[in-house]
Structures are given as structure tokens and as C-alpha cells.
Amino acid sequence: MSTIRLGDEAPNFTADSTEGTINFHEWLGGSWGILFSHPADYTPVCTTELGTVAKYKNAFDNRNVKVVALSVDGVESHKGWIKDINETQETEVNFPIIADEDRKVSELYDMIHPNADSKLTVRSVFVIDPEKKVKLMITYPASTGRNFEELLRVIDSLQLTAYHKVATPANWRNGEDCVVVPAVATEDIPSIFPKGYKEIKPYLRTTPQPNLN
């Protein structure tokens, strides 16, 4: 069983899916990625989650994010489940679902927590950048559905802070002011952030989001 930490390279794997065989790193290419696991097929909360992801496909595409799900059942089971998802959630599943009957990927990503369930995966989420580095990990219990608005918010923050010397404060949303990172000296802020800044404390400086016109 692997232990994955932030900044680690996301483990590569080859697996069957509802869209054919996937080599994970090749499939990601130069995109960001979300890999998220489901306890099993034909489970109620997962049905709502996969339907929600399908409805958010354009939002992920606009952020250059590829989405792939995983469940410990097989491809044929997945395909039958997709019919239920499409029907009940009034959408069309438009991303691959990995078959992980041998638990190979689940073990690789430490998605099975024995004290929660010895066989089924917890609701793990991994956000991976174009360099295949793990940038975010969230683990939900099987009983709690994920908040995909929060995942979009986090991706906006990750993509912003990857290219600009800012961090995002609590409850930040795309378009709001950001925090200047401590490594930037106050006297250097005007040249780096020409939109201006506010010094609340010497260690707490804010500036308008730098990647917006």
C-alpha cells in the first residue's frame, strides 16, 4: 500500500475503463486531472456524484481538467450503472470510470481504509497538475457526498497560485482579492502587482487577483 503526500508524483497505472484501456499518465497528457473513487457501483450517493460531475464537464474543460472516476466493480457493471445515472440524474456520463476489481489502483492510491471498510474504497479525491504532481487530496467517508463547487474553487486557487506569487484566503472565490506571499518584500509589490495592494499587517498584504483584466 502506498502513502501519497502532496507534491509526490501521482502513481501511474494501466487499467480498463468504460472508455477503453487507460494509461493514466498518457491519458492526462498536459492537462490537470481529478481522480476520485467510489465505494461501489449502484450506490445512491455515488449515483448523484457521477451525475453532478457530468453536468460540470464544461466547467472542468474550461480549466483544462480531465476527470476520471474509479469503482471496485467491473466495466460491464459500470456500463449498466451509467444507464441508471443518466436516467435518474438527467444527464449523460461523459468521462471514464475505471474498473478496479483487483483493487490494484485502490491500493496504489491508498483508497481502502480498513477501519472504515475492508473492501470498499472511501471517497478519495486527488487533484493532479500537468507535471503529474499531487496538488490536493481530500478523503470523505462513504456516507458523505462530495462538493464539486468546492473542487472547482480549489482548482481555481491551485492554477492561480501555481503561476503567481499569491495565496488565496479563507472562502476565496475566483475574482476576489488574494494574499501576497510572505516571500515577496513589501517594497517589491508594486513592480510585481501593478494593480496595487493593501497592507493590513506587515505579514498580511492583499492585492487584486493578478490574472484578471
Backbone dihedral angles phi then psi of residue 25, each to the nearest 5 degrees: -65, -40
Measure the CA–CA gap between 74 and 37, rounded to whole angstroms.
14
Find the catalytic residue in 10, 34, 46, 69: 46
Beta strands 32-38 and 204-207, pairing class:
unpaired
Helix (H, G, I), strand (E, B) or coil at 125: strand
Q: Is 178 a catalytic residue?
A: no
Closest CA to 205 of 172, 182, 187, 188: 182
Measure the CA–CA gap between 60 and 54, rounded to whole angstroms.
10
The set of cell numbers assigned to 115 is 477501519
Measure the CA–CA gap between 155 and 163, rounded to whole angstroms.
13
Measure the CA–CA gap between 108 and 24, rounded to whole angstroms.
13
Helix (H, G, I), strand (E, B) or coil at 17: strand
Annotated active-site positions, please? 46
